[in-house]
């Protein structure tokens, strides 16, 4: 499994990969390779490149087959909610993310790469499948189609939110029965990129009662018999008289005369009036499309953060923690195998992923779990229904909740200590030390970073933390050396690394 950087000399890989969506996604119309490649690298909107800089990465499986790709970079142009244009905005843009549904790891790995890049560039706002950056030779409609639900789920899991939901329609104008409405007349103004329509009353030609605009898709490389209707609108004082339908029919007839067969358009999922109009004239509904945006620096209160993710938490960990099973098995490895009762305090126990290997090693263990998140604890209760008589759960913060002193044979924490600055972490380690009985062990599994990364993350933490709740979800992992020094400082006499893989480490700290 590897990433391949795509450039103009191997972009036919992407061309071939995307071909599989023709027929599945209504706006992915066939184009030549040359048109596709030009659009991939040199797309502009109103003369402005859609990317300031961009990267395309493909994911290739063990057999050498491409199973997904991503196109991301810094946006070159953006229209905000008020329709105002921004050139070179500080925005990350994911134009495409496609991967085979059965190859989830491909999606995760590609998305991680894009997010690392956005992080490095200091981009906090990200758009995905933004229609502005749409793949123009594919009908300038770069949104994500509902048939790509696995992509949508992954983007949401990574913190992006659905921004727009639209319904996509295609009209076969060959089916259109041409009826000339003698009261109105269609005026057409053909520009290079756009065709403007207006509807006037025959007996009052200077009074425009409707406006509309369409794009000839042929100029974007798609087959010549397709056009995309950007919008139509009827003047307020003429609404409710059936002119929208008349206008649509007039536009359809005009296009049919020009030799075009298909008119595409879309409208908000919530605009039932437009949907009624399109369906009323015989347009075919082609499914819902999405675009996304997200604030990467959005800071959530800790408990809320995990409540919101409790349902999919374990799947997320299984996909993102390297050597997931080995990691959770190794967490219990410093414990002495025994059928006797041992006492264990699990800080930030979450859904209890670590408890399986703990009960395998010490079936009679008495566990006290502390966690802030109600929903994570609920999942734990379901997961360990058969062990509930051995488990006491406390919904509280382990940084303030008082632990019984000189009590536990083991204290464990997994993937939770990377949320504290040195002073607070030192305070928690002190409580852990005091909570352990003599000869007890503290086991910590977490991820660590290098010095440079630690410095950057602490800096970012201080920027984000302003006016935030005391316990909020911001990652500040330390270096391994920093962790060990802190544990030594509170009195642990021997601290050893039990296991490590990539950034993940398991440490055991012994209390004499």
Ligand X SMILES: C[S@@+](CC[C@H](N)C(=O)[O-])C[C@H]1O[C@@H](n2cnc3c(N)ncnc32)[C@H](O)[C@@H]1O
Q: Are 408 and 345 spatial neighbours (Cβ–Cβ below 8 Å)?
A: yes
Structure letter (DSSP) for residue 148: G
Q: State the alpha helices, DSSP H only, in 97-199.
A: 104-120, 149-157
Q: How far apart are CA 262 and CA 275, in angstroms?
A: 17
Q: How far is the CB of 356 from ligand X (least distance, A)?
A: 11
Cβ closer to ligand X: 91 or 367? 367
Q: How far apart are CA 512 and CA 509, in angstroms?
A: 10
97: three-class secondary structure by DSSP: strand
Q: State the alpha helices, DSSP H only, in 163-269.
A: 243-257
Phi, psi for residue 100 in degrees, rounded to 5: -65, 135
Q: Are 215 and 248 spatial neighbours (Cβ–Cβ below 8 Å)?
A: no
Q: Are 94 and 128 spatial neighbours (Cβ–Cβ below 8 Å)?
A: yes
Cβ closer to ligand X: 348 or 440? 348
Structure tokens at 137: 């030779």
25: three-class secondary structure by DSSP: strand
Q: How far is the CB of 446 from ligand X (least distance, A)?
A: 9
Cβ closer to ligand X: 247 or 420? 420
Q: How far is the CB of 348 from ligand X (least distance, A)?
A: 3
Cβ closer to ligand X: 342 or 353? 353
Q: How many CA atoms lie within 13 A of 166 on its CB side?
A: 21
Cα 426 to Cα 369, 417, 429, 439: the distances in Å are: 20, 11, 5, 20
Q: How far apart are CA 65 and CA 107, in angstroms?
A: 15
CA-based max dimension of the chain: 99
- Residues paired with 295 in a beta bridge: 125
Q: How far is the CB of 382 from ligand X (least distance, A)?
A: 15
Give residue number: closest CB to ligand X.
350
Q: How far apart are CA 254 and CA 185, in angstroms?
A: 11
Cβ closer to ligand X: 53 or 424? 424
Cβ closer to ligand X: 186 or 302? 302
Closest CA to 293 of 468, 118, 42, 507: 118
Cβ closer to ligand X: 211 or 324? 324
Q: How far apart are CA 233 and CA 212, in angstroms?
A: 6
Q: How far apart are CA 228 and CA 29, in angstroms?
A: 12
Site for ligand X, rule CB under 6 A: 302-303, 306, 317, 348-350, 353-354, 370-373, 376, 397-399, 414-416, 419, 471
Q: How far apart are CA 355 and CA 360, in angstroms?
A: 8
Alpha carbon of residue 82 to chain centroid: 24
Q: How far is the CB of 349 from ligand X (least distance, A)?
A: 5
Cβ closer to ligand X: 296 or 471? 471
Neighbours of 458 (CB within 10 A): 13
Q: How far is the CB of 296 from ligand X (least distance, A)?
A: 18
Q: How far apart are CA 58 and CA 49, in angstroms?
A: 22
Cβ closer to ligand X: 55 or 397? 397
Cβ closer to ligand X: 353 or 441? 353
Q: How far is the CB of 309 from ligand X (least distance, A)?
A: 9
Cβ closer to ligand X: 117 or 447? 447
Cβ closer to ligand X: 165 or 422? 422
Q: How far is the CB of 300 from ligand X (least distance, A)?
A: 11
Q: State the alpha helices, DSSP H only, in 351-421.
A: 355-361, 374-383
Q: How far is the CB of 351 from ligand X (least distance, A)?
A: 6
Q: How far is the CB of 69 from ligand X (least distance, A)?
A: 29
Q: How far apart are CA 410 and CA 424, in angstroms?
A: 21
Rg, Å, the chain Cα set: 29
Q: How far is the CB of 340 from ligand X (least distance, A)?
A: 24
Q: How far is the CB of 449 from ligand X (least distance, A)?
A: 16
């Amino acid at each position: 499994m590897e990433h391949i950087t795509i450039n103009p000399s191997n972009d036919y890989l992407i061309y071939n990969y995307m071909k599989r969506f023709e027929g599945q996604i209504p706006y992915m119309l066939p184009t030549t390779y040359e048109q596709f490649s030009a659009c991939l690298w040199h797309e502009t909107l109103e003369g402005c490149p859609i990317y300031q800089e961009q990267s395309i990465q493909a994911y290739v499986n063990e057999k050498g087959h491409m199973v997904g790709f991503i196109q991301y970079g810094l946006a070159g142009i953006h229209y905000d909610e008020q329709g105002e244009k921004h050139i070179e905005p500080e925005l990350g843009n994911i134009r495409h993310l496609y991967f085979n549904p059965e190859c989830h790891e491909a999606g995760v790995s590609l998305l991680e790469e894009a997010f690392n890049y956005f992080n490095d560039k200091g981009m906090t706002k990200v758009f995905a499948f933004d229609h502005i950056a749409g793949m123009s030779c594919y009908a300038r409609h770069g949104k994500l189609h509902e048939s790509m639900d696995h992509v949508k789920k992954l983007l949401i899991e990574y913190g992006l939110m659905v921004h727009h939901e639209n319904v996509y329609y295609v009209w076969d104008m060959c089916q259109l029965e041409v009826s000339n409405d003698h009261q109105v007349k269609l005026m057409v103004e053909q520009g290079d990129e756009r065709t403007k329509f207006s509807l006037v009353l025959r007996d009052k030609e200077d009074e425009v009662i409707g406006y509309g605009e369409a794009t000839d898709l042929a100029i974007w490389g798609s087959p010549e018999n397709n056009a995309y209707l950007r919008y139509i609108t009827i003047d307020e004082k003429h609404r409710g008289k059936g002119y929208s339908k008349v206008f649509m029919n007039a536009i359809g007839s005009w296009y049919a005369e020009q030799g075009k067969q298909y008119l595409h358009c879309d409208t908000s999922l919530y605009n039932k009036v437009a949907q009624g109009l399109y369906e009323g004239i015989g347009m075919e509904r082609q499914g819902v499309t999405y675009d996304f945006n997200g604030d990467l620096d959005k800071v959530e209160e800790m408990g809320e953060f995990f409540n919101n993710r409790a349902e999919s938490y374990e799947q997320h960990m299984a996909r993102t923690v390297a050597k997931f099973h080995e990691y959770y098995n190794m967490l219990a490895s410093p414990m002495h195998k025994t059928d006797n009762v041992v006492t264990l305090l699990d800080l930030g126990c979450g859904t209890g992923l670590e408890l399986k290997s703990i009960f395998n090693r010490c079936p009679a263990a008495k566990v006290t779990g502390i966690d802030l998140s109600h929903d994570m604890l609920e999942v734990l209760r379901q997961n360990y229904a058969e062990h509930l008589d051995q488990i006491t759960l406390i919904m509280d913060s382990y940084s303030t909740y008082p632990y019984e002193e000189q009590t536990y044979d083991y204290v464990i924490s997994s993937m939770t200590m990377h949320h504290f600055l040195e002073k607070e972490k030192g305070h928690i380690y002190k409580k852990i030390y005091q909570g352990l009985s003599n000869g007890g062990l503290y086991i910590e599994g977490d991820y660590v970073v290098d010095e440079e990364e630690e410095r950057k993350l602490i800096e970012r933490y201080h920027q984000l933390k302003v006016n935030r709740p005391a316990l909020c979800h911001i990652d500040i992992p330390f270096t391994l050396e920093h962790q060990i020094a802190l544990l030594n400082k509170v009195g642990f006499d021997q601290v050893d690394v039990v296991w490590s893989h990539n950034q993940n480490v398991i440490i055991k700290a012994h209390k004499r």
